[in-house]
A = this chain, B = another copy of it.
Amino acid sequence: MPKKELSERKEKILTALVDDYIKSAVPVSSGDIQSKYLPEVSSATIRSELNALEALGYIDKPHTSAGRVPLAEAYKLYCEKAFINREFSESDLSEMTGRFSKQVSDIEKLSAEAAKIITDSTNYTSIVVTNNFEDVEIEEIKLVGLNNGIALVLIVTSCGIISDKSIELPDEIMHAGLETASELLNGVFKGQKVSKLDTDAFLAKIGENLKGYRQVFDEIIDILKNYSLEKRKSVHVEGALRVLDYSDSPSDVKNFLQLVGDSESLEKLVSTPDDNIELSLKIGSDENGGIDKCAIVTAEYKINGQVIGQAGVIGPERMDYKKVLSVLDGIKKSLENVFDGDKTEE
């Protein structure tokens, strides 16, 4: 919408307007701006500037004789400026890092804790999406016989143990013994990446003489595929009920809570940034989801250049962006600290 750079005064007026609106939730008048932020010019001048800003699509007024309210475009500009001029207190940072370092081990716990910290600090609902590393490697496969020809399948991976699936054993394997079968399975699967299972190559490895194992292989491949599917993304939401602090409309609350309860939509929402910058801001709803009258601020987290996840805040359009930006930035720094700390320990 905005075609060219705004004049310095327009920008100043716009920032003042957004600041004031975030604080007061009331349409901001030219007089307000003049008295609080720009006493050196008259309100009439500010009025004409506001007129221009309205024509540019930054602001709007609810009715003829009301003050102005910011539109999405205004919030975006406001955020960009706030992000550039962001400040961060060292003490906040060290407190965050402290909360993290207690549980450095587990990436799931780490993101749950990140979500808690974000919500505690901002008082908005937070969302943390983690891309779990896709190169899970199979370290060992074991079949453990239970009664009735059922065997528990144990798969030890670089990311943990899969131990909740069992299969029925075909006669052929029952006779040959589970030890043998386990060894054979290990021969095929050991060292493989879960994300790159080459079924055909496996079948070739089994060879003609072991066709009876086909069924077991298929079942194990199924287990692995499901595992990599469900492990790929995890979504943590914290403070969903914060919506009740700022929204009065039951239907809005319902929409919000439904969205926030649906990991899939959330993940889509958070991991499709509208820009390739460090920080993404989405206001209102569009084709990728979103929700009316709400804004979503998302930051992307990388370790060694690899994107490991996104963390974001979902709150009212008129949210305390400065706070939110500073917290998300702090989380980013903390995570880097934690992981650097981790590295040096090894």
Contact = CB atoms under 8 A, between A and B. Distances in A.
A142 B139 contact: no
Q: Which of A139, A142, A152 has the most CB of B within 10 A?
A: A152
A144 interface: yes
Interface string A147-168: 1000010101000010110100
Given A248-B250, A254-B244, A161 B152 contact: yes
Interface string A164-176: 1010000000000
A257 B154 CA distance: 39
Nearest to A240: B257
B139 A147 contact: yes
A156 to B, nearest CB: 6
B140 A142 contact: no
A271 B251 CA distance: 32
Contacts of A247: 250
Contact of A253 (B140, B147, B166, B253): B253
A254 B250 CA distance: 11
Contacts of A154: 144, 152, 163
Contacts of A147: 139-140, 156
A26 interface: no
Contacts of A161: 146, 152, 164, 166
A258 interface: yes
A241 interface: yes
Nearest to A251: B244
Interface string A293-315: 00000000000000000000000
A183 to B, nearest CB: 14
Interface in A213-269: 241, 244, 247-248, 250-251, 253-254, 257-258, 261
A8 B320 CA distance: 63
Given A244-B253, A247-B250, A248-B250, A146 B152 contact: no
Contacts of A248: 250
A142 to B, nearest CB: 6
A254 B142 CA distance: 48
A124 to B, nearest CB: 15
A284 to B, nearest CB: 21
A257 B239 CA distance: 12
Contacts of A257: 241, 244, 257
A194 to B, nearest CB: 18
Which one of A139, A144, A164, A166 has the greatest number of beta carbons of chain B within 10 Å? A144
A166 B161 CA distance: 10
Interface string A17-46: 000000000000000000000000000000
A152 to B, nearest CB: 7
A247 B154 CA distance: 49
A165 to B, nearest CB: 10
Contacts of A258: 241
A203 B164 CA distance: 31
Nearest to A242: B254
Query: Which are the 6 A-B pairs with shortest beta-carbon distances?
Result: A163-B163, A244-B254, A244-B250, A241-B257, A144-B144, A248-B250
